[in-house]
Amino acid sequence: MLSITLINTLVVIVTVVIHYECLLRLNDWLPRLKLWSRFRIVVGVFGAMLAMR
For the chain, 53 residues long, the average pLDDT of each consecutive 10-residue run is 94 89 83 78 80 69
What is the spatial distance between Cα 24 and Cα 47, in angstroms, rounded to a whole number? 11
Residue type, 7: I
pTM for the predicted model, two decimal places: 0.63
Number of domains in the chain: 1
In the chain, the N- to C-terminal Cα span, in Å, equals 27
Domain that residue 26 falls in: 2-52
